[in-house]
Amino acid sequence: MDKANLGTSFRQITPQKFSEQQLEKAKEKQSSRVVFFSLVFPEHSSAVSAYIEAVRELACELLDLLAEGLWVPDRSVFSRLIRDVDSDSIIRLNHYPPMPMLCQDKDSSPCNQNKVGFGEHSDPQILTILRSNDVGGLQISLNDGAWVPVTPDPATFCVNVGDLLQAMTNGRFVSVRHKALTNSYKSRMSMAYFAAPPPDARITVPPEMISPTKPALYKPFTWAEFKKAAFALRLGDSRLGLFRMECDEQVA
């Protein structure tokens, strides 16, 4: 098939060819808490392509509105990265099978603690468009560290600000820390579209957002550099800290 005709969305979901053995191994590695399917779609699935096309468009519209709201004259400054033919956006399906609850401690009898299916983290990309079935489990962290459950609604998208958007807005938008819990009675399924720039895209702040009173918080970096740094850390670690300007380096 002609690469140029596929568009970014299809390219991003080009199925990886896993052998049965590799899949089994991957499932084992993820433990039984969360079986993590990455890009295992039937080739040329038009429904999946259409879905990706639609959520990509949604992400772009949201980013354009966001730029407008920040008074950035070039309103496509963020969405351009996602529309790029080399955009590194991906889609991920998560499956959380029902799991027996954890006992609080050995002396208290009721086992009433949900197990963590997907540990605390922020999404590294620009924006995440997430939806799930009607089973709860997603929680987001507030500034004070309190965890707030997100009401499950299969007809609603949950939009997460990712680390790159935090960097590109000089900290005006903050990437949200979140996690997903399992329950003991029903499977949870979720589907996340992670809108990302091309690997060699330079992540910078629109000049209008930097001033003597709001100096640049992060050093410029590429998405490939950020991903490399992220992979070297644990899921819950803060990656942006690695790219933060030292006080004496801050430029207005």
Ligand X SMILES: O=C(O)CCC(=O)C(=O)O
Residues near ligand X (CB under 6 A) are 92, 94, 118, 123, 130, 132, 138, 178, 180, 190, 192
Binds 78, which of Fe ion, ligand X, none (CB < 5 to 8 A, cut-off by type)? none
With 0-12 CB in 10 A as exposed, 13-18 as middle and 19+ as buried, what is 169?
buried
Residue 188 is a catalytic residue: yes
Which strands make up the sheet holding 127-132, listed edge to edge?
35-38, 90-96, 188-195, 127-132, 158-161
Q: 251 and 215 in contact (C-beta within 8 Å)? A: yes
| Helix (H), strand (E), coil (C) string for 102-114 | ECCECCECCCCEC
Per-position x/- string for 97-136, each x denoting binding to Fe ion as judged by CB under 5 A, each - no binding: --------------------------x-------------
Closer residue to ligand X (CB): 126 or 192:
192
Residue 69 Cα to chain centre, angstroms: 22
Q: Which residue number has the CB closest to Fe ion?
A: 123
CB of 121 to Fe ion, least distance (A): 6
Q: How near is the Cβ of 250 to ligand X at its closest, in Å?
A: 31
Cα 203 from Cα 70, distance rounded (Å):
17
Nearer to ligand X, 233 or 245 (CB): 233
List the end-to-end C-alpha distance of the chain, in Å, as a whole number.
48
Return the structure tokens found at 245: 């300007």
Which residue is at the shortest CB distance from ligand X? 190
Site size toward Fe ion (CB under 5 A) is: 1
Nearer to ligand X, 72 or 163 (CB): 163
Smallest gap from residue 115 Cβ to ligand X (A): 14
Residue with tokens 């949604």: 58
Q: In the complex, what is the shortest distance from the CB of residue 123 to Fe ion, in angstroms, rounded to a whole number?
A: 4
Sign of the Cα torsion 21, 27, 29, 31 reads negative
**Closest of 88, 79, 80 to residue 13, by C-alpha:** 88
Q: Which among Fe ion, ligand X, none contacts residue 138 (Cβ within 5 to 8 A by kind)?
A: ligand X
* Residue from 131, 177, 188, 239 carrying the catalytic annotation: 188
Smaller CB separation from Fe ion, 117 or 205: 117
Report residue 51 as tokens: 């879905």
Interface residues with Fe ion (CB under 5 A) are: 123
Q: Which residues are catalytic?
A: 188
